[in-house]
Structure 1
Amino acid sequence: MARDPDRVALVRGMAVFEPAEPPREGRIAFHPPPGAPGPVVRMAVAEAMPLLSLARRENGAHPSAAFWGAAVVVALQMVARGRILPAGDGSWRAGPLIGLDVERVEELAATLDGPDGEGLVRAFLDAVADGMPRTAAAMHATRAPAAGLRSGGRGSDPRPGAGKLTVRAVVGSGEPPPGDLRALLSGGGLLSFDWQLALGGDPLTEAEMDLLAESARPLVRLRDQWVHLDAATTRRVRNRSMKPLTPIAALALALTGTADLDGELVEIAATPWLEALRRRIADPEAAAPIGPPPGLAATLRDYQLRGLRWLAAMTSLGLGGCLADDMGLGKTVTLISLHLHRGGGPALVVCPASLLGNWEREIRRFAPGAAVRRYHGPARSLDGVVDGFVLTTYPTMRLDAERLAATAWDLVAADEAQHVKNPRSGAARALRAIPAAARVALTGTPVENSLTELWAILDWTTPGLLGTLGSFRARWVRPIESEKDPEAAARLAALVRPFLLRRRKTDPGIVPELPPKTETDQPVPLTREQAALYAAAVREGMARIAEADGMARRGLVVKLLTGLKQICNHPAHYLKEPHGRLTGRSGKLQLLDELLDTILAEDGAALVFTQYVAMARLLERHLAARGVTAQLLHGGTPVARREDMVRRFQDGEVPVFLLSLKAAGTGLNLTRADHVVHFDRWWNPAVEEQATDRAHRIGQTRPVQVHRLIAEGTVEDRIADLLRTKRALADAVLAAGEAALSELPLDELARLVELR
């Protein structure tokens, strides 16, 4: 490229990639250097590629421009090797990513800030691929790998009567069965991984494989018939041994029955002992029968005993597991039973601060002979820990990871394991640094938004099972979440099912004695003040959004949606009037008063959830003025105070419990309540269901009524309709809340928020 000084100067400022759909519409925004005047210059990725390539060797180029220049090199290398695939919408994508490609993408992503650096790098590679000229050569480059992906490794027939060669990969061939499965699975040994060819389903002998390897012709006479050797099969038969596998990786291949090798889905054959292990863990009902352990002061329900058997079987093999039963089904007592059954060293339980008291009470109740201490607060100590339970919080674990790692834990359990769903978070890294003979995750929601959350949990409980995060995204996340591939989903289910046990309250025979739950959406009209504020906020917000783009636009959309939800709650909430008049200004508040009057007249008790602490404080002040006894729990409530509040509510001293959804939506046992009120909507129903399960759980003896307050004719009303009808937009909301709506076109956004 000729050096145009004006264009070269662009790389001296920050370069920002702005992805789009289709990928070729993505742009590079060149910002002026710090302190220099000038506009932001946007170019299509294809147009910007020469400049970005120049930035890699240009003195004074901004590091971000040099970074995207390095990404250009990776993308062009993939295109040159035919690593591009046509998508259903007429665009092209970079892929499939294998081997070194995955490593390069991960290396690039590791230098980016933000939660999804890898996704941004992948989007850039797609933009380069989609910007390439559409040529016949490109079509030829993608056709062969795409066909091979579904061929099962079969060679093509050059003439009628040619024999069919089938290619598969064999794990652990020729190796004796291990004497100690636990030592093998938790140790550092490796298993062989070799190509195997078969003719008519009958595996070839080593001598026959050697004959094919030595042949220089595409047609070979074998077993009295002609067989055709394509280039890929010839390469495999000459290089039969692949990189050895860890036992966990080998088990993963045996469970799925396939492997993605060089962009091709290849059948996997396991040796007899590995196949026997696969069958053993694939059926949780096949676990050896065991009874309640000595020292347990509880009667386990049948499904809890089955859960204990499953956990005992998995941990006895050195494998971890995720107990993902619905909230309220007794995961705590099951974990306590597992520790008593194992009878080894100490158990470390990591949980949110709000659950420390609940864990201690449950252990003292169900395992009165077991020692229990809290590792929390300024006087925390591990001195003398040789058995029993140690309870700590995620923040404390993050601070003291090195000290905790020095103790020989028999069992480490992560309660509400969704707290470590971001594998790059400090809590997730600290948890991985603590060794243990067995690891168990407890969560009612193993996947809230993305499959990568499942990877984060299972890669902790059973490291290596799902591969690296980059390879997991390439093999599973993209085909399942983006391409909606049912076959890929079925293979992933076969892989993770043995390591994740999930039972729901609605499953037949699980909790037949649990009382019914009635859920009602209760529409409420806006007051005149609310309607005026709502219309003004929509008018002013949409005008600003129409003039903005990029991150600024997304921020304005989220700000508008948040403001509208606050107006739906109460004008004083939106206007930030902590001491303003409350009565007569909010339809929701009026309905809440009516509900509570009825509930308290019937000697009932209610949980009232809101996602806004400021709104909860307004409700607390309003109820106090009406003479209604209530208490408020939020994220800033001290642990000791939380435990006292839970006790007072359960003992019937306080009939109304106001709760911040995030601080109290999980873990607490509040079965005194027979009514749950969601004052405002959290647009992921799974989060609301977890909150509801504070009351609708084992120990509840009365029917539970759930009331969701929805402002009529507003964005709350429209989102509720979408969630009920499960349209595509509803799926986006479930995945990312308000952030998903920030990408809507202006006309769709206007229809969503307008007051009707």
Structure 2
Amino acid sequence: RSWPTPPTCGRGPRPRKRKIKNRGPGSTPSSRCAGRPTPGKKLAPLLHAKKKKTPSSSPTRRSPNCWGRLHGHSRPPKNQVHWPRQLARRLTARAVIGPPDDGEQASGRESSGLPSFLSADALLSFNWRFALGDQQLTRAELDQLAEAGRPVVRLRDEWVLIDPAEARRARESQDRKLSPVDALGAVLTGTAEVDGRTVEVEASGALERLRERLAEPEGGPQEIGQPAALQASLRDYQLRGLNWLHRMTSLGLGGCLADDMGLGKTITLIALHLHRQTDPSAAGPTLVVCPTSLMGNWQREIGKFAPGTPVRRFHGAARSLEGLGDGEFVLTTYGTMRLDAARLAGADWGMVVADEAQHVKNPYSATARQLRTIGAKARVALTGTPVENNLSELWAILDWTTPGLLGRLGTFRSRYAQAVEGGADPAAARRLGALVRPFLLRRRKSDPGIAPELPPKTETDRAVSLTAEQTGLYEAVVRETLAAISEAGGMERRGLVVKLLTALKQICNHPAQYLKEERPRVEGRSGKLELLDELLDTILSEDASVLVFTQYVQMARLLEGHLARRGVRTQFLHGGTPVPEREAMVNRFQNGEVPVFLLSLKAAGTGLNLTRAEHVVHYDRWWNPAVEAQATDRAYRIGQDRPVQVHRLIAEGTIEDRIARMLERKKDLADSVLGAGEAALTELTDAELADLVELRGAGR
């Protein structure tokens, strides 16, 4: 009879047969090995060499890899030893991370209000725990295993199969120190990198309790209620968001509130500011860095929901921080912050808030670098789109709110982003989700119980045909540019592709935009314009209001002039509109003075509250559906009490038609990874590019 080998061995070559002398009745290897030996028995009688071919019903598993690991050479010996299964006790190893002194003291709080093991200068211990079954080994026993020069060791009156090299590596890793953020990242994902290998880890004591507390951002009891100074009633989900922000900022960890546009991120942040002023360890002024167009909205919201709270704008030539008070709000723009970061960094901020935090999605930009120089007791990012193009943008935001959480950008790209964006590693996506979920709270309007009072939203793609002039221009540009692209390479080719895509989109809008005519005849030359006129006739006859978005300032100017000639009152907000005029425009629209609001997609796609609009028209398509969704949410947000209709104008048979279908397929990726838009299209082959842009079907 052959005894099964230890479970660590696999299949390998057969050893040479060897005869065994019969010791008489009752003394066969089978009978002598049938029971588990007592501690006093010697090991030698329990080992025997293989005599016969192992029956198929009792397979043995042999592996040269196993022999090499256990015996130090790659080929099995002439006489192969088989080990009784009863004696092959598994030595299990777990990496455990926790505070150095994991008693009651470890869960205490310092004067800063943070758990002692989360303080800035704290280090957490990384240790290995070895166990036989459920019995944990002592440090002395681990030393014994590490110093053993053989794979079979007598331990606690049992024979144990080990890998001495693994035991030595584990002993060398004992008492390794980790920063609190590194430790949190390891226990949240359940893995850590040790000497270039990924090992499973678990938390202990106070760190495990913190992990459980963070793992469910909206779980657990509510720790704080609505601040008494807040002149509003928070919705249930907003109160949960407030508690989550309080938990994260009180722990010094920071967080990103990534709710859908219009769900009340601003009022939630105002409530957090008011609550922090009641805690001496957290009190201090709050700096809000936001796009220029949002300063007025912030000032109005603070005045409405926290009357009496001092607020100032750090903007313009006369900006000053003199006399800054603890409970004060300071509003500044990303541009001003970039230019005057040194002065802002000199203040003692209780909290710094990055509103529309996608503005710092490029970690190498001057804006992102300067924002990192401004210290605070707490950092909070607000954004409706934590990822617009790729996961590096998520890294940039979370590395600001919680520095070090995701490691270095290069490591993050290789460990998570490349696998997740390629869709080839679901396990990497799960690990990344486990890591970022406690630090990023995202709720959607469509989530059950979030905004049941919101009216319905209807989205419609409205197809239009090109005019004869548009068709001729489109086909000529495609023919000439594809010929040039076929002869080009490298950066020249990429430049030609971008130029082609831009030209075709402009032709679809209006020939006058592509031809850059100074005093164009507008009527009768564009299918989109004809449809827009029809839509506006219907909308205005119902005494409704409408937002019209375009990514091109020149196209908006053409629409502005055309509608003025038709007697339609309009106004146009773009990137060059001064802040006071922006605020006046918003007020005029909300008061019903101007029914048609023309807006530049990038300049006005975020932050504005335009709930008077019942209709939203996207005159041309952006490459990213998340950007379009943000623009739509200027109207479809909390406070809207009427149904909203969204109209997307698409030229049939053109690149717009194909891009629309592509974006529809990518909608499910908007919260994780989106294609890089125009940049990705530059990498298409000549044939793929031709298939994308050539005019076909109804467009001809």
1:295 to 195, 214, 229: 229
Alignment partners' CA distance in 2, 1:643 and 1:369: 22
Report the 3-state secondary structure (helix = DSSP H, G, I; strand = E; otherwise coil) of the residue aligned with 2:95: strand
Name the structure 2 match of 1:172: 98
Instruction: Measure how far apart 1:345 and its partner are.
Output: 1.3
* Letter aligned with residue 167 of structure 1: A
Instruction: Give deviations 1:250-284, integer Å, cap 9, x for gaps.
Output: 12212112113234321112121110111112223
Alignment partners' CA distance in 2, 1:636 and 1:267: 53
* Letter aligned with residue 170 of structure 1: V
Contact in 2 for aligned 1:195/1:236 (Cα 8 Å): no
Contact in 1 for aligned 2:191/2:201 (Cα 8 Å): yes
Report the 3-state secondary structure (helix = DSSP H, G, I; strand = E; otherwise coil) of the residue aligned with 1:384: coil
Aligned identity (percent) is: 68
2:170 is the alignment partner of 1:237: yes
Alignment partners' CA distance in 2, 1:410 and 1:652: 40
1:252 to 180, 185, 190: 185
Using the size of structure 1 for normalisation, the TM-score is 0.77
Name the structure 2 match of 1:269: 202
2:408 is the alignment partner of 1:408: no
Name the structure 1 match of 2:506: 566
Instruction: Measure how far apart 1:483 and its partner are.
Output: 5.3
1:393 to 325, 333, 339: 333
Alignment partners' CA distance in 2, 1:748 and 1:657: 38
Alignment partners' CA distance in 1, 2:609 and 2:433: 31
Report the 3-state secondary structure (helix = DSSP H, G, I; strand = E; otherwise coil) of the residue aligned with 1:709: strand
Contact in 1 for aligned 2:391/2:673 (Cα 8 Å): no
Contact in 1 for aligned 2:445/2:451 (Cα 8 Å): yes
Name the structure 1 match of 2:303: 364
Gaps of 5+ in 1: 1-139, 146-156
Instruction: Give deviations 1:91-136, integer Å, cap 9, x for gaps.
Output: xxxxxxxxxxxxxxxxxxxxxxxxxxxxxxxxxxxxxxxxxxxxxx
Instruction: Give deviations 1:215-273, integer Å, cap 9, x for gaps.
Output: 11233233444433336513313413264111121122121121132343211121211
Structure with max Cα Rg: 2
Alignment partners' CA distance in 1, 2:313 and 2:368: 21
Instruction: Give deviations 1:628-681, integer Å, cap 9, x for gaps.
Output: 111111111111111111111111111111111000001000011100000000
Give the 3 Å change call, closer, same or farther, for CA 366–200 of structure 1 in structure 2.
same
Give the 3 Å change call, closer, same or farther, for CA 445–160 of structure 1 in structure 2.
farther
2:246 to 312, 315, 322: 312
Gaps of 5+ in 2: 1-63, 70-80, 278-282
1:437 to 362, 377, 383: 377
2:692 is the alignment partner of 1:752: yes
Name the structure 1 match of 2:76: none
Alignment partners' CA distance in 2, 1:630 and 1:231: 79
Instruction: Give deviations 1:573-626, integer Å, cap 9, x for gaps.
Output: 001113211000000001001101110110011100011111111111111111
Instruction: Give deviations 1:26-78, integer Å, cap 9, x for gaps.
Output: xxxxxxxxxxxxxxxxxxxxxxxxxxxxxxxxxxxxxxxxxxxxxxxxxxxxx
Report the 3-state secondary structure (helix = DSSP H, G, I; strand = E; otherwise coil) of the residue aligned with 1:735: coil
Which range is displaced more, 639-648 or 479-488? Answer: 479-488
Name the structure 1 match of 2:358: 418
2:321 to 382, 399, 407: 382
Contact in 1 for aligned 2:188/2:435 (Cα 8 Å): yes
Contact in 1 for aligned 2:465/2:651 (Cα 8 Å): yes
Name the structure 2 match of 1:631: 571
2:160 is the alignment partner of 1:227: yes
Report the 3-state secondary structure (helix = DSSP H, G, I; strand = E; otherwise coil) of the residue aligned with 1:418: helix
Contact in 1 for aligned 2:238/2:264 (Cα 8 Å): yes
Alignment partners' CA distance in 2, 1:366 and 1:728: 35
Name the structure 2 match of 1:581: 521
Alignment partners' CA distance in 2, 1:579 and 1:464: 56
2:456 is the alignment partner of 1:549: no
Instruction: Measure how far apart 1:285 and its partner are.
Output: 2.3
Report the 3-state secondary structure (helix = DSSP H, G, I; strand = E; otherwise coil) of the residue aligned with 2:377: strand
2:630 is the alignment partner of 1:690: yes
Which range is displaced more, 673-682 or 451-460? Answer: 451-460
Contact in 2 for aligned 1:620/1:632 (Cα 8 Å): yes
Alignment partners' CA distance in 1, 2:600 and 2:300: 23
Alignment partners' CA distance in 1, 2:560 and 2:335: 29
Higher helix share: 1
Alignment partners' CA distance in 1, 2:234 and 2:140: 58
Instruction: Measure how far apart 1:702 and its partner are.
Output: 0.9
Instruction: Measure how far apart 1:410 and its partner are.
Output: 0.6
Give the 3 Å change call, closer, same or farther, for CA 476–653 of structure 1 in structure 2.
same
Alignment partners' CA distance in 2, 1:751 and 1:237: 57
Name the structure 1 match of 2:474: 534
Report the 3-state secondary structure (helix = DSSP H, G, I; strand = E; otherwise coil) of the residue aligned with 1:437: coil
Alignment partners' CA distance in 2, 1:729 and 1:559: 27
Contact in 2 for aligned 1:578/1:618 (Cα 8 Å): no
